[in-house]
Structure formats: C-alpha cells, structure tokens
Amino acid sequence: MTTPEILASVKKIFTEYLEKKSHRKTEERYNILEEVYQLDDHFDVESLFVHMKDKGYQISRATIYNTIELLLDCELLTKHQFGKNTARFERSYSFRQHDHLICQDCEHVFEFCDPRIQQIQ
C-alpha cells in the first residue's frame, strides 16, 4: 500500500529528475506515476494502459512507454523479464528487497523474502 508520504516522495524525486534532464513536467507523466504507485502487483504496459483507460484517463500507449522509461531511469520502477517476451514492472521506491517465484501454469508472480538468498548470491 502506498502512503501519501511515499507518493509525495516519489513525485519529488520524479520532478527533480525531469528538471535535471530538461524534460517537460506533464500531467500525463504524473498521472502514470500515481497509478503505478497505487498498483499492488507487477504490471506490463498493456495492463497499465487498460487500467488507466478504464479509469477515464485520455492517454496513449506511447506516453506510457515513454514515461515508463523515465521512471526506470530515475529508479522509481524496476523492470523484470519473467521468461516471456513481455516486460513486467514494479515500484522500487521504499519497498523491501525480495525475490520472485512464477507459476508456470497461470504465470502469477509470487514475491517472497528470505535473507539466505542474499547470502547465497
């Protein structure tokens, strides 16, 4: 669950990043950031696009793809390739280290944390 404090922090980080890189600070980019940080699960661009369209946002896939790249670059998102051709993403600010198990039947991603894995790596 994303708290208002976390959301304020990620907006600040994103704003500073956009200013540093001389990118425009658009409402669409901030809407994407907010929606990403309200999601509780891993997502791909298509599911985010559908989610935002269902909520009434007027947004293109291209804007989502471009904003995702910016969020990756400023380390507010993490990209995963879970064995398929579709990249999946998750929030990375203020979230604990964890690993993933992927069901080979339904492709659901399960997160877990076991400190022994860090020691093995």
User: What domains, with CATH codes, occur in the chain?
Assistant: 4-94 (1.10.10.10)
Q: CA dihedral defined by 35, 41, 42, 44, rounded to 10 degrees?
A: -50
- pLDDT for 62-95, tens place per residue? 999 999 999 999 989 988 776 666 778 888 875 6
pTM confidence score: 0.77
pLDDT in tens, 33-65: 999 999 877 788 999 999 999 999 999 999 999
